[in-house]
Amino acid sequence: MRPMTLLLTLLAVAAPALAAPSFDGRSWWHTVQVLADDRYEGRETGSRGERGAQDYLVGRLKALHVRPAGTHGYFQPVELRSRELDEAASSVALVRGGDALPLVIGDDLVLSTRVELAPDVDAPLVFVGYGLRVPELNHDDYAGLDLKGKIAVVFQGSPAAMPSALAAHYQSQAERWKTLRAVGAIGILMIPNPAAMDIPWSRIALNRSHPSMVLADPAFDETAGGRFGGTFNPAQADKLFAGTGHDFAELAKAGAERGPLPTFALPLALRAHTRLVTRAVHSRNVVAVVPGRDRALAREYVVLTAHLDHLGVGQPINGDRINNGAMDNASGSALLLDLARTLDSSSQRPRRSVLFVWVTAEEKGLLGSRYFANHPTVPGPQLVANINTDMFLPIVPLKVATVYGLAESDLGDLAAAAAARLGIRVQADPEPLRNLFIRSDQYNFIKQGVPSLAMRVGFDAGTPEEKLFKDWLTARYHAPSDDTLQPVDLAAAGAFEELTRQLTLDVANAPVRPRWKPDSFFRRYAPAP
């Protein structure tokens, strides 16, 4: 027995993924079709539909005998508060001299209830360019400006000289508000970069009807001290710049090229009367575990995450009100279930444990993963890696995988090696302006020092595939047409599942846990060795 065991152990280290189950995409698609069915009403955080989808998932896990790892069986309760704007009781105007120019909520701007809007705000506006203060680069868009008691008008984006990881980090809500508090600003008015908008303004305006949420525990309040938040329609932005000697077309052109932007006080104040309606929301993360087979390493966990929540029922588009979220993110949720099934079979069981977390409230600002990363159901220092799957978009054959965090940690090397075995190329984030590395649940693990990575089906610039992805974002992202009637590439989905499975096994079987690269920006969060 001994030599055989040794041989198996060596095989497990050197080539853990030899006995590959073949994913053909069918089991994946079956689960996607259930989770994205109208009966779950778009899985809005805390809704009946989300609970139903979670219960379905738990039923599948039980049937597969995958063990629970929440605090209440498979569940970890997540307590939230929702904030909704009573629009009929709210109004916003720009005030120039003594004259008020009323703004139309929806057409001119939308208000952000991510900030606890104060009932009455009357504050001068200051254009702060990209609104970034980055000590590492001695970059300070607030230098020489007086923001005390004022609202910062921010053009979304970053200058080309700024590495994308730094730019993404300092554009996160938490970092932005740290800077805003430091300069004494009381609010923020964002202008989307027309060159990097995921969805057209019409959809942003429609989506404003979804209530926002925050974690109930005030310790998690990133926008504390804020009194106003909003996003201005770029097509109406000249209302802000009239009389300044600048127009928005000129600023947007510089921003599209990631060039330098001027900063200046606007000859305007913003006056807002708002009424917020808040209520308590109860949701849950779903947590399961495949225990590791190595006695010592089994105490360490590779965490696979996917958000199960989506946008719920919204304003109708082409007569459809249900945001089924088939790709966003029934697709990632279904992938995790397939991996739990295959990794739990004894011949595949890895040395470290693998934790599966279907998080809630991603669409509300990565809240379920934030709660989990701060209150993990296993000891935090034993989380060795996070691999997140969010909207991996198998809409073209899997020839190239986009790896977010490719150069940041050992996980990137392992992902590249797994992809190479499968004949798949890897590429780093081709669209750094969209900040995707910090825009999904992996970011909360990064902030706890856990090496993290996310992957998607990729495309090469200038190819017909690129156009397919762009068209998908424009037509289906956060729209009711992200449903199960859309075309998907089952072979690509299966290949992507296999890639994720092999990466997971490689991380779980590696002799040492992954580390951040010495020059990675994100290493700052890692505990001192």
Contact set with Zn ion (CB under 5 A): 328
CB 105 → Zn ion: shortest distance, Å? 23
Enter the DSSP assignment of 310: B
Q: Do residues 441 and 307 make contact, with C-beta atoms less than 8 angstroms apart?
A: yes
Tokens coding 327: 């790709």
d(CA 254, CA 262): 10
Instruction: Give 42-110 as a DSSP string.
Output: T-BTTSHHHHHHHHHHHHHHHHTTPEE-SSBTTEEEEEEEEEEE-GGG-EEEEEETTEEEEE-BTTTEE
Q: How far is the CB of 3 from Zn ion (least distance, A)?
A: 51
In the complex, the smallest distance separating the C-beta of residue 285 from Zn ion, rounded to whole angstroms, is 17
The nearest distance, CB 324 to Zn ion, in angstroms, is 12
Shortest distance, position 117 Cβ to Zn ion, whole Å: 23
Closest CA to 496 of 439, 407, 419: 419
Nearer to Zn ion, 44 or 497 (CB): 44
Shortest distance in whole angstroms from residue 90 CB to Zn ion:
26
User: Across-strand partners of 152?
Assistant: 126, 188
Task: Indicate the residue among 436 and 507 with the shorter CB distance to Zn ion.
Answer: 436
Helix (H) or strand (E) holding 469: helix 464-476
Q: In terms of CB distance, is 328 or 408 closer to Zn ion? A: 328
Question: In Å, how far are 171, 370, 524 from 279, measured between CA atoms?
Answer: 28, 20, 36
Q: 113: alpha, beta or left, given left = phi > 0 and alpha = psi -120 to 50?
A: alpha
**CA dist., res. 330 & res. 336, Å (int):** 10
Looking at the Cβ atoms of 73 and 365, the one nearer to Zn ion is 365
Number of other residues whose CB lies within 10 A of the CB of residue 383: 23
Nearer to Zn ion, 133 or 476 (CB): 476
d(CA 429, CA 458): 9
Nearer to Zn ion, 231 or 504 (CB): 231
Q: Least distance from C-beta 477 to Zn ion, angstroms?
A: 7
The whole-angstrom separation of Cα 437 and Cα 447 is 12
- Quote the least distance from Cβ 460 to Zn ion, whole Å: 24
Q: What angle do CA 30, 31, 34 make, to 5 degrees?
A: 90
Give me the least distance between CB of 195 and Zn ion, in Å please.
21
Strand partners, 287: 357
Nearer to Zn ion, 329 or 353 (CB): 329
SS3 label, residue 327:
helix
Tell me how far, at minimum, the Cβ of 203 lies from Zn ion, in Å.
12
CB nearer to Zn ion: give 43 or 133: 43
CA gap 345, 343 in Å, rounded: 5
For the beta carbon of residue 137, count every other beta carbon within 10 angstroms: 15
Least distance (Å) between residue 437 CB and Zn ion: 15
Q: Closest approach of Cβ 328 to Zn ion, in Å?
A: 4
Q: Which is nearer to Zn ion, 53 or 147 (CB)?
A: 53
328 vs 441, which CB is nearer to Zn ion? 328
Nearer to Zn ion, 37 or 328 (CB): 328
Read out DSSP for 212-227? EEEESSGGG-TTTT--
Q: Yes or no: say if 360 and 434 are a contact pair by the CB < 8 Å rule.
A: no
Nearer to Zn ion, 133 or 203 (CB): 203
H or E stretch covering 377: none
Nearer to Zn ion, 141 or 328 (CB): 328
Nearest approach, Cβ of 42 to Zn ion (angstroms)?
A: 11
Task: Point out the residue whose Cβ comes nearest to Zn ion.
Answer: 328
Distance of CA 305 to the CA centre of its chain: 11
Can you list the alpha helix ranges (DSSP code H) found in 123-233? Answer: 164-170, 173-183, 201-207
Q: Please state, in angstroms and as integers, the Cα–Cα distance from residue 398 to each residue in 18, 154, 407, 415, 458, following that order.
A: 20, 37, 21, 14, 7
Smallest separation (angstroms) from Zn ion to the CB of 173: 16
Pick 150 or 476: Cβ nearer Zn ion: 476
DSSP letter for 330, please.
Answer: I
